[in-house]
Structure 1
Amino acid sequence: MNNISSISNPIRAPRAAFLGSNLHHHHHRLTILPRRPNVVVCSSSVSTPTSPSLSVAQEANRIGSLSQVSGVLGCQWGDEGKGKLVDILAHHFDIVARCQNEREAVKLFHEIKGATPNHVTYTTLIDGYCTINDLEEALRLCKVMEAKGLYPGVVTYNSILRKLCEEGRIRDANKLLHEMSERKVVPDNGGANAGHTIYNAEGKKFALHLVPSGILNEDTLCVIGNGVVVHLPGLFEEIDGLESNGVSCEGRILVSDRAHLLFDFHQEVDGLREFELAKSFIGTTKRGIGPCYSSKVIRNGIRVGDLRHMDTFPQKLDVLLLDAASRFQGFNYGTEMLREEVEKYKRYAERLEPFIADTVHVMNDAILENKKILVEGGQATMLDIDFGTYPFVTSSSPSAGGICTGLGIAPRVVGDLIGVVKAYTTRVGSGPFPTEILGQGGDLLRFAGQEFGTTTGRPRRCGWLDIVALKYSCQINGFSSLNLTKLDVLSDLPEIRLGVSYKHINGTPIKSFPADLRLLEQLKASGISYEVLPGWKSDISSIRNYADLPLAARTYVERIEELCGVPVHYIGIGPGRDALIVK
């Protein structure tokens, strides 16, 4: 066993000595060749191994030898960076399929007994009230926040400034800018991007919500499966954006005829539901995904295939809109709205027709023809509606089971599953977060990793890597390997902690990741044992060979492997397409 300090208070504990495990190997620089044949070639970059190394041939086949049907799934609470790995692996697959939506974007803020709202909680609530046009409540919460010694940051100010300008209260906005200046808070431009972010060979950035990340590889067919809810204006916007940047989509995207349609009014319903439940601490960015899944489950939803029958489409849409109007007093529905929606979807149906397919048949035919399929999961296991931190979850199953239900393929054909996990942990919005770092430590990690919600600019909560949650995710999904992302973000830290176990207040160990939210909240006080590892204090973003990483960085990677029992085969050390080490 390694000589590691196991402690329950990582702030006060002394730095521990660590003897690195003897696991690292002899590795080589990876060069990806054209997809036929499925091989890679390595140019040697030799270092003295301390244990038996992988042969050049073994390493060359690391990607090429992935099973016929492989998957890439998130391990934590989302935002792990799955798209980049999918983009790289897609070069070696015939089909890249998406089985769920990437982000629900619904944040729940139910009060849990014993939980104390923090800076992130108040900021998210303030943004939510601004979104539903309740500026006065947002300003009131801002005062409450300050009274508790939690002063607004740039994201909080941005939400209020945006709403003041929308309402024409320019004088008040100027006053707020002056207040920001006095408090040394510098305004920024925020960000507007969500889903999977990938880069092409020239460094051009693409943000995809619906189109699978394999679209940049021109020989790859991209499938949007039945488990995805499809917002057609958003899909066409993505396609137009890709086409305008030289990425051909013609004949390369298929949309399941069984996928459900997400309408603009679902987004309106999302906002109305937020307003209705505001006192119960519920918030959303109003993308409408939750209400669309609700329509699906109560069986009045409309599917892509229904666009082929415009004679009955108006009646189905009328039932859906009447249901929303009966449920929410603020939802105004009339015959003119129905007429406009029907006309709009007649145009959408005509444009979408070349993309519509029976993707269950397509996928299973491809399997029979021995074509290679890479499945791109959405969100992450800790947001799974069954296995995640319910109710702070999504509306679908982003764990391994969702591959089968989201695409219509048999469990026996699914092979290698790669779990994507950050080198630390983040969470958007509220919900249990046992290893969260509060205060300045969390801020340092947040800014180093640019951990701000890409749709709203809200700060992501940051913390140490939670090994208990990661092992739980590995257990549920049966990962064959892991992709550890954003290792470079930890480069400036003098020491790094791993949350390795949970325990009750009386000190008895908790043997698995608990479903009890109250228990999870109580863990923050003294219920987590940490191992302290030395940092490497050097820039690793230009390194491409595992053996060239600092010893402390390799020790960190190998300790994660040892604790989880799953090998780390891919290591992200920067946002660029080539910033990946294959181990």
Structure 2
Amino acid sequence: MCCETACLNGEPAVKRYRESGGVEALRTPREPQNRVTVVLGAQWGDEGKGKVVDLLAMDADIVCRCQVTVAALVCLDRRESSLIVFDAGNGVVIHLPGLFEEAEKNLQKGSGLQGWEERLKISDRAHIVFNFHQAVDGIQEQQRQQQAGKNLGTTKKGIGPAYSSKAARNGLRVCDLVSDFSIFEEKFRVLASHFQTMYPNLNIDVDAELEQLKGYAERLRPLVTDGVYFMHKGLTGPSKKILVEGANAALLDIDFGTYPFVTSSNCTVGGVCTGLGVPPSHIGRVYGVVKAYTTRVGVGAFPTEQDNDTGNLLQSRGREFGVTTGRRRRCGWLDLVLVRYAHMVNGFSAIALTKLDILDTLPEIKVGVAYTVDDKPLPSFPANMDVLTKVSVTYETLPGWCCSTEGARNFDELPSQAQDYIRFIENFLQVPVKWVGVGKSRESMIKLF
């Protein structure tokens, strides 16, 4: 009787399966309905990714961050329309006091962030940065300075220690905080005790931070979503334009960057898949953002660095100071060996070349095109930082244009020497340049195609 009932109940389902084309329909290859556009830094960060995202977000339905911290409120303020949604994926680490303080600060400035709570989605799988993570970040930097004579140059925002907790599998996630707080409290006390054992001088007011977190849990709960299902709906439902803004840049990637002077996450294109739950087949255009010269904050190898008048000029004209730390950025010539390596890892569809106008006063411009060590050519970008610090750079010298490019609004209005500089970059990388930045405003981004 049971078997007979099962067969009868199964008939409608089998019939529908046959009418839909059965297994043959499943075996027919289908292209993804929606593809994701990705914007990534191609050097050591500070390339001007925000300006490119600013342009593309004007036409986006969802803007996502897949790693490092939430710059959500900045993104939400980039478009006048309130329809844009920002998704902070599972690869992001979130410092809740910083998130809500940023919201209040921007609202007080009269920005367009009204209603941001309805537009911000935070993955329940995202890890939390606690105050003691930030304190530990500072302690670790002091220890590196004392023991090795140099630190990593972190922002001391607790990002590294938070990712360390994640990798050690004792981190706490958003889903923990917004579920049963008594269980969260127990896990939090264990984690705090773990760090106090490792760093005896670490001062943690556990009760005070728990009280603060309990309040944040109530504010956070309406923002939390299952990030995997949220992205799946955006990718497979009605047509959505999805934009992913990568934080940091390719040479700061934990695996492919200039380790150990890197960040603690994957800021190359693979981080989009692991940090948002996006299948590789849904990734469409990948835009690499390249500054027309090279900069780096903090310590670490920098082959084309110009610790001279040229570097000072680039630093001064480009106002090269770290946004978070305020530190002076080291400056040097454009390093195409480095950018080509970034292209190998990310597969750039096109390049956005920023801050071309900073080169306006130079009579000649050098571009790094090859590395040698002890007069022997290096066939690839070296993994070993001791090797990278020893490389000699082979340069191509191109004529400067010695006039302002800031008023140019199309490629033909650029000086011929500036056009040649762009063509040289395209030819070397075998990647087209889609945008050229010649100033601060959105209008100063020249679109080539």
Please state which band the TM-score falls in when normalised by the shorter chain.
Answer: 0.7 to 0.9
Larger relative contact order (CA 8 Å, sep ≥ 6): 1
In the alignment, the residues of structure 1 paired with residue 154 and residue 228 of structure 2 have an alpha-carbon distance, to the nearest angstrom, of: 32
Matched, 1:544 2:413: no
1:487, distance to aligned residue in structure 2 (A): 0.5
- In the alignment, is the contact (CA less than 8 A) between 1:212 and 1:224 conserved in 2? no
Q: CA deviation at 1:329?
A: 1.6
Query: Is the 8 Å Cα contact of residues 128 and 172 (structure 2) preserved in structure 1?
Result: yes
Q: CA deviation at 1:237?
A: 1.9
Instruction: Find out whether 1:300 has 2:170 as its counterpart.
Output: yes
Aligned AA for 1:351?
A: R
Percent identity over the alignment is 49
1:366 and 2:234 correspond: yes
Contact 1:96-1:212 at 8 Å conserved across structures = no
What SS does structure 2 have at the residue aligned with 1:418?
strand
**AA in 1 matched with 2:206:** L
- Kindly indicate whether the alpha-carbon contact (under 8 Å) linking 1:101 and 1:210 is maintained by their aligned counterparts in 2: no
The DSSP-based 3-state class of the residue aligned with 2:390 is helix
For residues 57-72 of structure 1, what are the structure 2 equivalents within 5 Å? Answer: 68-72=35-39
In 2, Cα distance between equivalents of 1:343 and 1:233 = 12
Residue aligning to 1:449: 318
CA displacement at 1:214 relative to structure 2: 4.8
How far is the alpha carbon of 1:323 from its aligned partner?
0.6
Aligned-residue offset at 1:210: 4.3
Cα contact 1:465–1:499 (8 A) shared by 2: yes
Partner amino acid for 1:460?
Answer: R
1:290 aligns with 2:154: no
Counterpart secondary structure, 1:349: helix
1:496-520 deviation digits (Å, cap 9, x = unpaired): 01001112213x3211111121221
SS of the residue 1:331 aligns to: coil
Residue deviations 1:196-215 (CA, integer Å, cap 9, x gap): xxxxxxxxxxxx83436254
Matches within 5 A, 1:389-538: 389-506=258-375, 508-523=376-391, 527-538=392-403
In 1, Cα distance between the equivalents of 2:275 and 2:257? Answer: 18
Aligned-partner Cα distance in 2 for 1:469–1:558: 18
Moved over 4 A (4+): none
Following the alignment from structure 2 to structure 1, what is the Cα–Cα distance between the partners of residues 191 and 169? 10
| Aligned partner (choices 92, 96, 99) of residue 228 of structure 1 | 92
Q: Distance in 2 between matches of 1:412 and 1:214?
A: 27
* Separation in structure 1 between the aligned mates of residue 200 and residue 124 of structure 2, nearest angstrom: 33
Q: How far 1:384 sits from its partner (Å)? A: 0.6
State the partner residue of 1:83.
Answer: 50
Deviations 1:396-454 (A, max 9, x none): 00000000001011011101000001000000011111111112221111101011122
Partner of 2:201: 330
Q: CA deviation at 1:546?
A: 1.1
Number of aligned pairs? Answer: 405
For each residue in 1:46-85, what CA deviation from the matched residue of structure 2 results, as whole angstroms up to 9, or x when unmatched?
xxxxxxxxxxxxxxxxxxxxx7311000000011111111
Matched to 2:107, the amino acid is E
Matched to 1:254, the amino acid is: K
Q: Which amino acid aligns with 1:565?
A: Q
Cα deviation, 1:132-156, whole Å, max 9, x if unaligned, reads xxxxxxxxxxxxxxxxxxxxxxxxx
Q: Distance in 2 between matches of 1:562 and 1:241?
A: 45
Q: Is the contact between residue 78 and residue 379 of structure 1 (CA under 8 Å) also seen in structure 2?
A: yes
- How far the C-alpha of 1:488 sits from its partner, in A, is 0.6
Alignment partners' CA distance in 2, 1:502 and 1:560: 17
Residues 129-208 of structure 1 mapped to structure 2, 5 A cutoff: none
Deviations 1:285-306 (A, max 9, x none): 3211111111111011110111
SS at match of 1:514: coil
Distance in 2 of aligned mates of 1:358 and 1:535: 52
User: Against the structure 1 CA distance between its residues 447 and 536, is the aligned structure 2 distance closer, same or farther, given a 3 Å change threshold?
Assistant: same
Q: Secondary structure at the match of 1:92?
A: coil
The one-letter amino acid paired with 2:345 is I
Q: Is the 8 A contact 1:481 1:569 kept in 2?
A: yes
Given that 1:427 and 1:461 are in contact with CA atoms closer than 8 Å, whether structure 2 keeps it comes out as yes
SS of residue in 2 equivalent to 1:312: helix
Q: Matches of 2:314 and 2:59 in 1, distance apart? A: 34
Structure 1 CA distance for aligned equivalents of residues 144 and 372 of structure 2: 34
Say which SS state the counterpart of residue 243 (structure 2) adopts: strand
Bigger mean CA deviation after superposition, 350-359 or 209-218: 209-218
How far residue 342 of structure 1 moved from its aligned partner, in angstroms, is 1.5
Q: Which runs of 5 or more structure 2 residues have no equivalent in the other structure?
A: 1-33
Partner residue, 1:259: 126
1:213 paired residue number? 75
Task: Return 5+ residue gaps in structure 1 as ranges.
Answer: 1-66, 103-207
1:353 is matched with which residue? Answer: 221
Structure 1 residue 554 corresponds to structure 2 residue 419: yes
Could you tell me which residue of structure 2 aligns to residue 313 of structure 1? 184
Amino acid at match of 2:61: D
How far did residue 274 of structure 1 move? Answer: 1.9
Which TM-score applies when normalising by structure 2? 0.88
Counterparts of 1:215 and 1:357, CA distance in 2 = 21
Q: Which whole-Å CA distance do the structure 1 matches of 2:377 and 2:76 have between them?
A: 43
The 3-state SS of whatever aligns with 1:216 is coil
CA-to-aligned-CA distance 1:286-340 (integer Å, 9 cap, x gap): 211111111111011110111222121110110110011000021134xxx2221
Q: Which residue identity is paired with 1:556?
A: Y
**What's the secondary structure of 2:288's corresponding residue?**
strand
Once the two structures are superposed, what CA deviation does each residue of 1:373-394 show, in whole Å capped at 9, x if it has no partner? 1000010000111111111111
* Secondary structure at the counterpart of residue 415 of structure 1: strand
Q: Aligned partner of 1:492: which letter?
A: T
Deviations 1:334-361 (A, max 9, x none): xxx2221121111101111111111211
SS of alignment partner, residue 329 of structure 1: coil
CA distance in 2, matches of 1:212, 1:256: 18
Alignment match of 2:113 (pick from 247, 263, 285)? 247
CA distance in 1 between partners of 2:301 and 2:416 (Å): 33
- The CA distance in 1 between the partners of 2:257 and 2:272, in whole Å, is 17
Contact 1:98 1:212 in 2 (8 A): no
**Contact kept? 1:427, 1:460, Cα under 8 Å:** yes
Q: TM-score, normalised by structure 1?
A: 0.68
Task: Please say if residues 76 and 113 of structure 2, whose CA atoms lie closer than 8 Å, have aligned partners that are also in contact.
Answer: no
Aligned partner letter, 1:522: K
Residues 211/98 of structure 1: CA separation in 2 closer, same or farther (3 Å cut): farther
Contact in 2 for aligned 1:87/1:214 (Cα 8 Å): no
- Partners in 2 of 1:416 and 1:285 — Cα distance? 30
